[in-house]
Amino acid sequence: MSTIDFSALDALDQRDPLADKRQLFVIPEDTVYLDGNSLGLLTHATQQRVAEVTRQQWGQDAISSWNKHQWVHLPRLVGDKLAPIIGAATGQVICCDSISVNLFKALSAALHLQRQRGEQQRTKVISTRDNFPTDLYMVQGLEQLLGAQHCHLQMVEEADLLTAAEDLFDAETAILLVTEVNFRSGRRLPVAELIRKAHAAGVLVIVDLAHSAGAMPVRLDEWQADFAVGCTYKYLNGGPGAPAFVYVAQRHLGQFVQPLAGWFGHAQPFAFEPRYEPAPGIEIMLSGTPSVLAMAAVDSALDAFAGVDLAVVREKSLALAEAFLQQLAASGLATEFECISPAAAERGSQLSFAHPQAYAICQALIDAKVVADFRAPHYLRVGFTPLYTSFRDIGVAVEQLTHIMREQTYLQPQYQKRHAVT
Ligand SMILES: Cc1ncc(COP(=O)(O)O)c(C=O)c1O
Ligand SMILES: Nc1c(O)cccc1C(=O)C[C@H](N)C(=O)O
């Protein structure tokens, strides 16, 4: 007998101000999808837009589309569409490349800004040990390229950043590279407060919004962030490998060099001048030709956010997580699954649970058409995407999990053998 109170969950769905948004998405058949924190779902509009761009723009209008369909301006148009979602005024956000590549540009630019200010001794980049590895690798790559005397990484514990940030920022510190929401635990760091402390110590801040953009209110301008990066393939539903974004505060534009100085970042790309002259605005962050099909997908996916208040998104995200925890407790699983995510105010839009059999349980859940994911060493992650996750979804997910645990389905050999990479 199921312990899930589906009528209570259905009542929550009926009162949900975002319920109408679900119909904008292609929901995989008979599936509960709790992995929007890794890959967001496709919208019907995006499916049509990509078909249309392929059929008409590429197929018929071909090269004229660079002007006729504004292909050449897509990075900026998409950036400006994204700006309000992350609390930025227009002209400071551009859509391009991956988070990794944009971080290379932002890190180099911030180091250069410190030198421009006469702060040559500021060569240290502080980040958290449990940050998403690519962020740390990008700093390590720069360290190898420039030499440790010009750039070096100091990894700190999240707890130390929370309790003693002032002690970490010394006269050598150039940059704080901080990811707002930890990909493994879901812990959300107080970015506004960290920026205040960093600035008081002369430190510039780069924020990684991979697990924030589209999931909660972000206020880059209000926070006075210096740079930010983020992806569009998670909560913004731009598609697998969709181009990322980069934000540069208006006050820094025109003040730094960007080392990946490609022709799309030139003041006049189509003048084909032999000498590089950077674009005066946010286009300086561009390097090469935009991926038009991918960017068209992001552009149309962002339409799902039209008229959406991100405070409402956040409220629903926390209510979905709360419903998950309640149903888990009602099913008698709360002690077996140790929740490693912090309390509501200090977490993002996911819950992570430690369990020695997390990998096998996750595979069994996926086979039962509940898509969650696993992160080493032994965490089961469930992500909530308020635009399409329903409260009923939560009930079905916990019901399946209860069944898998009761029947010990996860002990079957096909679930015990590790094969999946993501
Ligand atoms: C916090 C964070 N940063 C960066 C990335 C990856 O960046 P990229 O777009 O370079 O693959 C991810 C996940 O893929 C992430 O969770
Ligand atoms: N970007 C990814 C990819 O290219 C393949 C598989 C997964 C991803 C992810 O987004 C992972 C994700 N950042 C995470 O939080 O684990």
Here the CATH number for the domain that contains residue 126 is: 3.40.640.10
387-422 burial: b if 16+ Cβ within 10 Å, else e: bbbbbbbbbbbbbbbbebbeeebbeeeebeeeeeee
Residue 204 lies in a domain: yes
Any catalytic annotation for residue 81? no
Q: How many whole angstroms from 62 Cα to the centroid of ligand 1?
A: 33
Last residue in a domain, options 264, 290, 305: 305
Sign of CA dihedral 384, 389, 392, 398: negative
Ligand positioned closest to the Cα atom of 241: 2
Residue 1 lies in a domain: no
Task: Give the separation between CA 380 and CA 94, rounded to whole angstroms.
Answer: 34
Residue 386 lies in a domain: yes
Annotated binding residue 99: yes
Coil, strand or helix: which one is 124? strand
Task: Give the separation between CA 313 and CA 318, rounded to whole angstroms.
Answer: 9
Task: Give the separation between CA 290 and CA 312, rounded to whole angstroms.
Answer: 33
Asked whether 245 lines ligand 2 (CB < 6 A), one says no
Q: What is the pLDDT of residues 225-254, one digit of tens each?
A: 999 999 999 999 999 999 999 999 999 999
Ligand positioned closest to the Cα atom of 374: 2
- Residue 2: pLDDT band (50, 70, 90) is confident
Asked whether 100 lines ligand 1 (CB < 6 A), one says yes
The shares of helix, strand and coil residues in the chain, as percent rounded to the nearest 5, are: 45, 15, 40
Q: Is the previous residue joined to 84 through a cis bond, with omega within 30 degrees of 0?
A: no
Q: What is the pLDDT of residues 70-121, one digit of tens each?
A: 999 999 999 999 999 999 999 999 999 999 999 999 999 999 999 999 999 9
Residue 422 lies in a domain: no
Residue 38 lies in a domain: no
- Residue 418: pLDDT band (50, 70, 90) is confident
Of 95, 98, 99, 236, the one to substitute when testing ligand 1's pocket (max ligand atoms within 8 A of C-beta) is 99
Looking at the CA of residue 241, tell me the nearest atom of ligand 2: 4
Same domain, 237 and 348: no
Q: How many whole angstroms from 38 Cα to the centroid of ligand 2?
A: 5
Asked whether 149 lines ligand 2 (CB < 6 A), one says no
Looking at the CA of residue 181, tell me the nearest atom of ligand 1: 1
Coil, strand or helix: which one is 173? strand
pTM of the predicted model as reported, rounded to 2 decimal places: 0.97
Q: Given a cut of 80, is residue 422 above it in pLDDT? A: no
Residue-range definition of the domain harbouring residue 11: 6-30+309-416
Asked whether 135 lines ligand 1 (CB < 6 A), one says yes
User: How many angstroms separate the Cα of 248 from the Cα of each of 128, 145, 228, 283?
Assistant: 22, 23, 7, 10
Asked whether 23 lines ligand 2 (CB < 6 A), one says no
Q: How many whole angstroms from 244 Cα to the centroid of ligand 2?
A: 13
Looking at the 3D structure of the chain, how many domains does it have?
2
Q: How many whole angstroms from 179 Cα to the centroid of ligand 1?
A: 10
User: For residue 92, what are the contacts with CB-CB under 8 A and spacing of at least 6?
Assistant: 79, 83, 220, 221, 247, 248, 249, 250, 253, 282
| Percentage of the chain exceeding pLDDT 90 | 96
Q: What is the pLDDT of residues 277-325, one digit of tens each?
A: 999 999 999 999 999 999 999 999 999 999 999 999 999 999 999 999 9
Asked whether 212 lines ligand 2 (CB < 6 A), one says no
Same domain, 127 and 272: yes
Q: Provide the pLDDT for residue 408.
A: 95
Any catalytic annotation for residue 169? no
Q: Given a cut of 80, is residue 255 above it in pLDDT? A: yes
Last residue in a domain, options 289, 305, 321: 305
Same domain, 152 and 209: yes
Q: What is the pLDDT of residues 351-373, one digit of tens each?
A: 999 999 999 999 999 999 999 99
CATH no. for residue 376? 3.90.1150.10
Same domain, 68 and 200: yes
Q: Provide the pLDDT for residue 1.
A: 61
User: For residue 119, what are the contacts with CB-CB under 8 A and spacing of at least 6?
Assistant: 174, 202
Q: What is the mean pLDDT of the chain?
A: 97
Same domain, 325 and 276: no
Which helix (H) or strand (E) segment holds residue 154: the answer is strand 152-156
Catalytic-role residue among 234, 235, 264, 410: 234
Annotated binding residue 134: yes
Which helix (H) or strand (E) segment holds residue 158: the answer is helix 158-168
Q: Provide the pLDDT for residue 399.
A: 97
Residue 46 lies in a domain: no
Same domain, 22 and 62: no
Q: Given a cut of 90, is residue 338 above it in pLDDT? A: yes
- Residue 417: pLDDT band (50, 70, 90) is confident
Q: What is the pLDDT of residues 376-406, one digit of tens each?
A: 999 999 999 999 999 999 999 999 999 999 9
Picking from 321, 310, 343, 360, the residue whose alpha carbon sits closest to that of residue 34 is 321
Residue 69 lies in a domain: yes
For the segment 24-33, the average pLDDT, to the nearest whole number, is 97
Same domain, 375 and 397: yes
Label each residue of 309-373 as H, E or C. CHHHHHHHHHHHHHHHHHHHHHCCCCCCCEECCCCHHHECCEEEEECCCHHHHHHHHHHCCEECE
Any catalytic annotation for residue 234? yes
Nearest residue by C-alpha to atom 2 in ligand 2? 38
Last residue in a domain, options 305, 320, 354: 305
Same domain, 16 and 150: no
Any catalytic annotation for residue 208? yes
Annotated binding residue 263: yes
| Percentage of the chain exceeding pLDDT 70 | 99
Residue 210 lies in a domain: yes
Same domain, 16 and 112: no
Same domain, 110 and 95: yes
Same domain, 290 and 353: no
Q: Provide the pLDDT for residue 419.
A: 75
Catalytic-role residue among 80, 208, 373, 393: 208
Q: Provide the pLDDT for residue 340.
A: 96
Annotated binding residue 100: yes
Higher pLDDT, 38 or 417: 38
Same domain, 239 and 384: no
Q: What is the pLDDT of residues 193-228, one digit of tens each?
A: 999 999 999 999 999 999 999 999 999 999 999 999
